[in-house]
Amino acid sequence: MSMSAAPDVIAPLSDDEVRRLRDDFPILQTEVNGHPLVYLDSGATSQRPLAVLDAEREFATRSNSAVHRGAHTLAAEATELFEDARAALARFVGVDDDEIVWTSNATEAINLVAYSLSNAAAGRGGAAAAPLRLGPGDELVTTEMEHHANLIPWQELAARTGATLRVVPLDDHGALRLDVAAEMITERTRLVAFTHVSNVLGVINPVDQLVALARRAGAMTLLDACQSAPHLPLDLRALDVDFAVLSGHKMLGPSGIGALYGRRALLEIMPPFLTGGSMITTVTTTEAEYLPPPQRFEAGTQRVSQAVALAAAVDYLSSVGMARIAAHEAAFGARLVDGLSAIEGVRVLGADIALPRVGLASFDVAGIHSHDVGQYLDDLGIAVRVGHHCAQPLHRRLGVTSSTRASTYLYTTDAEVDAVIDGVAGAIEFFRRGA
């Protein structure tokens, strides 16, 4: 009887590799309040390597022009770079070029889908869009752990169409109640929208199980990949989702650029969200005909230099290796949870959830407001996030109003993880001594 070979073990980045990577990030060489910067807020926005900064500057100084509009040399160069960037991102997430729509951010991408469905419900898109139309009796499903950007657009869509929004609850630890989801997702469900990685808990949700529930019901799926695309190998085709959104500034890219992935068959029947120039074929004073996707959803002047820079970012990530980045951060996620949980009075949100996680941990310190913890750490040069992280329902379910969040990335070192753990212990001692 033959035995299959053991799976390869992916090694996390070594200390030497991380130190070399850090040389690519000028901002990491700075000081804050007299201390070397310890940047642990990559979950909010990541820092940019020189390759990304240089790509945007080179475009601006050598190829800057409007895309898809001019016949001159610069316009042709800009258009080629813009479309090459689309192809680079498509390869990065495992889909076809024409399934990537450029947006300003992930929030716009989610709203694009929501408003397109709303326009279909209003009769736009003709007979082709009929499968997308919502109304009373139809249901949208999201979860209690979502970022507000993946909750409020569905609240508004339900209000505009008469559909009902249902929310999958969390258990006492913060994990999704998949048993309730199985009952909630029915033949009335038209769309299931959920996050791949919680921006508060850091846990990686079971996409396969949620997609299977949606497929069984004949519902579409939308994946919020903002916290997974920067940190995990991502193959959207293999995940079998219908839509996915991501944000450039969380994955080493610039702000002002995001993307929507849409399954081609759906994009082809969706009516547009924003309208105007660049997304049309024929216009009269009374009506217009629209281009096929993705250009149908890219009205107006595009974010060309940002797209070029995002392509440089995904090339940089690919050169490091997404599997190795994921292993690097999984180790840090475990260290953050274990180290912070060991401090008396610290509660790490979601610490007991039995799911893999990225390098992110949010925590509550008994008797000390998260803003005070964050200010103490900032005095030491340690940058963390404080507040509700645009996830009030999740915090409310777990019985806190806010938390402090430390989030790592490929440029984070062992010493920086130790620094935030020691810093939290110091903050507790400082405030309790002051009390």
Q: Is the pLDDT of residue 6 over 70?
A: no
H/E element, 16: helix 15-22
- Of these residues, 390, 397, 400, 430, which one is catalytic? 390
Q: Calculate the alpha carbon distances from 99 to 47, 240, 261, 296, 397 in Å.
A: 27, 13, 6, 12, 36
Q: How much is the average pLDDT of 154-175?
A: 98
Mean pLDDT of 296-310: 97
| C-alpha–C-alpha distance, residues 221 and 243, integer Å | 6
Asked whether the beta carbons of 368 and 427 are under 8 A apart, the reply is yes
Span(s) in the chain for CATH 3.40.640.10: 54-318
Instruction: Could you list the beta-strand ranges (E) of 78-229.
Output: 100-103, 139-143, 164-168, 189-195, 220-224
Q: What secondary structure letter does DSSP report for 5?
A: P
Active site residue 390: yes
At 8-28, the pLDDT tens digits run: 678 899 999 999 999 999 999
pLDDT tens digits for 213-226? 999 999 999 999 99
Average pLDDT over residues 108-132: 97
Model confidence, pTM: 0.96
Q: Per-residue pLDDT for 1 more than 70?
A: no
User: How does residue 69 score in pLDDT terms, banded at 50, 70 and 90?
Assistant: confident
pLDDT digits over 379-407, tens only?
Answer: 999 999 999 999 999 999 999 999 999 99
pLDDT at site 210: 98
Residue 7 has pLDDT above 70, yes or no: no
pLDDT band at 4 (very low <50, low <70, confident <90, very high): very low
Q: Are the CB atoms for 203 and 354 separated by under 8 Å? A: no
Distance CA 331, CA 55 (A): 31
Residue ranges, CATH 3.90.1150.10, the chain: 15-48+321-434
User: Does 367 have pLDDT greater than 60?
Assistant: yes
Report the CATH fold assignment for 54-318: Aspartate Aminotransferase; domain 2 (3.40.640)
- In CATH terms, the fold of domain 15-48+321-434 is Aspartate Aminotransferase, domain 1 (3.90.1150)
Give the range among 58-72, 104-118, 145-159, 350-364 with minimum mean pLDDT: 58-72
Q: Identify the pLDDT of residue 435.
A: 57
DSSP one-letter code for 287 = -
Treating both helix axes as pointing N-terminal to C-terminal, what angle do 50-62 and 304-320 enclose, rounded to 10 degrees? 150
pLDDT number for residue 21: 98
| pLDDT of res. 82 | 97
Is residue 396 within a helix (H) or strand (E), and if so which, with residue range? helix 392-397
Per-residue pLDDT band for 2 (boundaries 50, 70, 90) equals very low
pLDDT greater than 50 at residue 75: yes
